Every structure is written in structure tokens, then in C-alpha cells.
Chain A
Amino acid sequence: MHTTVGSVDTTQLLKGVLDLAVLAVLRDSDGYGYDILRRLREAGLEEVGDASVYGTLRRLFAAGLLTTYVVPSESGPHRKYYALNAAGRDQLTRSGKTWRSFATTMDALLEDRGMAA
């Protein structure tokens, strides 16, 4: 199929690193679903989908990388906060390393060809 070969699609890239991105935004402070979504978008991941983030949080929780707790609020709905646990931090460290080495390789590759921006 020739149609899939083309310019780099950010949503395609996101699929591979959304787990890492979600873990990363939870590194410094816990957050609830919509809050996490907002943080990702503010960090520059504009294309990230609501359902993708929500689903990713459920999956990371099911995999035992996150813990949750509910915070009641007077104004809006109760909020379910997600927090990294030890396994989540380990995963973040390992995936972070993988990403860095991958990114370095890609950078070097682009540099060699004189295509760096």
C-alpha cells in the first residue's frame, strides 16, 4: 500500500509515546483525567485525543503503574486523581531512556543527511 507511506503523522507518532507522555506529566504532580489532557495539550501535544488519554489512563491503571484516589469537589463532579506508583516511576525511567536513545539516533540520522532544521 502506497497510501501509508508519506509525511510523518503526529498522531502516528503519538500512538507510540502516549504512555510515556502520560507518565511524564504525572511525574511531578497527580492529576485527574481532564487535567492530564490539558497538561499534555499545553505541553504541545495538540492532537492528542480525549478518548486516547482516558483509555491510556485506564490501561496504565490496569497494568498496575498508577494508583487512583477520588477527591470530592464542591463546585463540580468528584474527581478521580491518578498518581504514579513505584512501578509507574520505573516504567517512566525505562521508557524515558528508550525514547532518548531513539530520539538521539533519529537526530543523528537527520544530522548526517543535512536535514536538521
Chain B
Amino acid sequence: MTVTEQDITDYVDRVRAALADLPPAVRDELTEDLPEHLTEVAAEADGSLVDRLGEPEAYAAELRVAAGAAGPATGGRRDERIAAVVRRLRDRRDRLDVRLGPLLGYATAGEFLRLLRPAWWVLRGYLAAALIGTLGGGLTLFPRPFQSVLAGFLLLVVAIPLSVSFGRRSGELRRWPRVLNQVTAVVLVCFGLVLFQSLDQRRNDPIGYYPVENQYDQVRDVFVYDGEGRLVRNARLFDQNGAPIRLGYPDCAEPGRQDEAFRAGYPYCPEQAPFGPRSVPTPPGTPPTASPEPTATPTAQPTATPTATTEPTPQPTR
């Protein structure tokens, strides 16, 4: 026998080295009894292993093709089971695809979603820019890296077209770049959710959006006095647009009658008037909360009250 144990080990090592790109489990499985096999080959006839079988690299290439190791089918039964599960999930997805399509007015849901792809590319570019924009700053709707609006603008101008052109070519990606692309998409979507969520919260938070000190914050009631210093009852306040101005709250009204007090107008609590007792009494026979008065108020009251109604009658009585 001209072939030694060492020759066989060397040959096997070189074959294994040539198969180094395969998953270790597959490679081990392919070569596990190769030493015994080569011993057999060596025992049968004279000549070196290379003379008999060719170079180990060529042997490895032939082995790879014959064992189908280039494809995923060689991984063994466990891989086949996984492949079967994947196939079932795909079938289910395809059925769902066809069933949802008509609801959207398309043959399949996928057809509709494919139309949205360019929109996703734009959104992806924006999200990428916004993510970079958080550098040296906080979460902002407009990317502002290191507080620079200009940099954020440039970022958007670069990121969005880049994302779109990348999206148009994403069909050419090989397996790993494609997986990377999908992982990036998931990360960006998660970031987007966090971003919008945080902005939403900030909007609901009054601090920063309203002046902290509103000089009318403390107002509980409004007392209107006419030119003669008399308290006006059932007064209404309007702004320049005719929208009612609401200030204060009818604290003194009974719990169930606060709506009435609102409708009656200012002051809510005439007995708490800060100045003088010279109140203008309501016209006889109508209680302060009566309904006929409010209907006439918005336009009539400001001009009518001082001259026509209030002055002549009540003055003599008090």
C-alpha cells in the first residue's frame, strides 16, 4: 500500500477546506466517512490518491454537485421540516392575499400593496433622515441633527431620493443584503412609531403650548358696571368674531342649576359684587335666570340697557 494514513488525512482536510463555505453540519455530514472510503479506495489499487481521484478540490466540487450541497435540500430532514412549515405559511398567506384583494378592489392584496411601494420608499427615506436627525438632539418631526435645520434639510434631500432609487433596485439584491434590507425596514418602522408616539404625547401636554401665566386664569366671575357705576345683570361678553367669551364658573349656583347660571350671563353671583350696593335690579316680574332676556341679548343689550330699560324705572325705587 503506497498511500499512508497521513495522505488520507491530508486529502480529507483539503476536501473539507474546499467545502468550507457550507454550513458546518452539512460539511461534516458530507465528509464524515470519507476517510474510511478513501482507505478503501487506497487499498484496492496502487498509485497516490491524487492519481486515482484527482485533486481534492476537484473531488470536493464533484462531491458538492452530486450531494446537491449547492442548494438547501441537503441540510437533512430537519431543514425539510422547516421548509415544509415555510411552504404551509406561504400557502396560507397566498390564500389570504386573494381573499383580501377584492375588499380593496384589487385581484389580490399584494397587487394593491405593490402600488404603495414607492410611498414606502419615500417614507423610509424620511424615517432614515429622522433617525439620523436625532443625533445631538431629541426626537423631532423635522430632522435636526445637532440642532441644524439646514443639515436636516440636506439629509432629507439626500435620503429620500437615495431610498427611492435603492427601492427600485431592491429586486436585484442577493439573500443577505435582502435580509439586511428587511431588518432595516423593521427598525425604521419601530423608530417611526416611537417618534410619532412621542410627538403625540408632547401635543397633549399643555406645557410649552400655552402661556403658563394667563392673567384671566384666576377670574371666577365678571361684574359689568355701566357709566353710572351700576352693576349690569345678565351681561354677555363676545369677542370680535361674535364668539361668546367664557370666564369663571358659577360657584354660588346650586349644583344642578349651573347651566342656567351660564345661560343667564354675568355676573354669575351678583351678591358677590365687589363694588357698592347700587345694583341695577332686574325688571320687575322677571327673575334673573328668565328665558326671554337671553334671546334679545347679543345685539340689543349693549346699546339698549344703559338708556332705555335700566335707567328710568328702577332708579326711583331704591
Q: Is the CB of B33 within 8 A of A33?
A: yes
Q: Is the CB of B59 within 8 A of A50?
A: yes
Docked pose: A53 CA to B52 CA in angstroms: 15
Contacts of A78 in B (CB 8 A): 36
Q: Is the CB of A58 within 8 A of B77?
A: no
Judged by a CB distance under 8 angstroms, whether A44 is at the interface is: no
Q: Is the CB of A55 within 8 A of B39?
A: no
Nearest to A80 among chain B residues (CB) is B33
Interface size class of B (residues with CB under 8 A): 20 to 34
Q: Is the CB of B66 within 8 A of A55?
A: yes
Nearest to A52 among chain B residues (CB) is B66
Q: Name the segment of B40-48, B242-250, B302-310 touching the other chain.
A: B40-48
Number of A residues near B (Cβ < 8 Å) is: 23
Q: Is the CB of B43 within 8 A of A62?
A: no
Docked pose: A12 CA to B182 CA in angstroms: 40
Contacts of B40 in A (CB 8 A): 32-34, 76-77, 79
Judged by a CB distance under 8 angstroms, whether B37 is at the interface is: yes
Judged by a CB distance under 8 angstroms, whether B64 is at the interface is: yes
Judged by a CB distance under 8 angstroms, whether B301 is at the interface is: no
Given contacts A50-B53, A51-B62, contact A58 B67 (CB under 8 A): yes
Q: Is the CB of B66 within 8 A of A18?
A: yes
Q: Is the interface of B mostly helix, strand, loop or mixed?
A: helix
Q: CB within 8 Å of A: which of B51-99?
A: 52-53, 59-60, 62-69, 73-77
Q: Is the CB of B36 within 8 A of A51?
A: no
Partner of B36, one of A49, A53, A59, A79: A79
Contacts of B259 in A (CB 8 A): none
Docked pose: A18 CA to B30 CA in angstroms: 18
Given contacts A50-B41, A76-B43, contact A55 B36 (CB under 8 A): no
Query: Considering residues A34, A51, A59, A62, which has the most beta carbons from chain B within 10 angstroms of its beta carbon?
Result: A51
Q: Is the CB of B62 within 8 A of A55?
A: yes
Docked pose: A67 CA to B59 CA in angstroms: 24
Partner of A34, one of B41, B67, B68: B41
Contacts of A79 in B (CB 8 A): 36, 40
Docked pose: A49 CA to B58 CA in angstroms: 11
Q: Is the CB of A51 within 8 A of B30?
A: no
Judged by a CB distance under 8 angstroms, whether B29 is at the interface is: yes
Partner of A64, one of B43, B53, B66, B77: B77
Docked pose: A37 CA to B45 CA in angstroms: 14
Query: Considering residues B36, B41, B43, B53, which has the most beta carbons from chain A within 10 angstroms of its beta carbon?
Result: B36
Docked pose: A54 CA to B35 CA in angstroms: 12
Could you mark each residue 25-65 of chain A with 1 if its beta carbon is under 8 Å from any beta carbon of chain B, else 0?
A: 00000001110001000000000011111111011001110
Q: Is the CB of A54 within 8 A of B77?
A: no
Nearest to A49 among chain B residues (CB) is B62
Q: Is the CB of A34 within 8 A of B62?
A: no
Partner of B62, one of A32, A33, A38, A52: A52
Contacts of A59 in B (CB 8 A): 66-68, 73-74
Judged by a CB distance under 8 angstroms, whether B3 is at the interface is: no
A–B pairs, 27, beta carbons within 8 Å? A18-B66, A32-B40, A33-B37, A33-B40, A34-B41, A34-B44, A38-B44, A51-B63, A51-B66, A53-B66, A54-B37, A54-B63, A54-B66, A55-B30, A55-B63, A55-B66, A56-B66, A59-B66, A59-B68, A62-B75, A62-B77, A63-B73, A76-B39, A76-B43, A77-B39, A78-B36, A79-B40
Given contacts A52-B66, A54-B63, 19 further A-B contacts (CB under 8 A): A33-B37, A34-B37, A34-B41, A49-B62, A50-B52, A51-B53, A51-B59, A51-B60, A51-B66, A54-B34, A54-B37, A54-B66, A55-B63, A55-B68, A62-B77, A76-B40, A77-B35, A77-B36, A80-B36
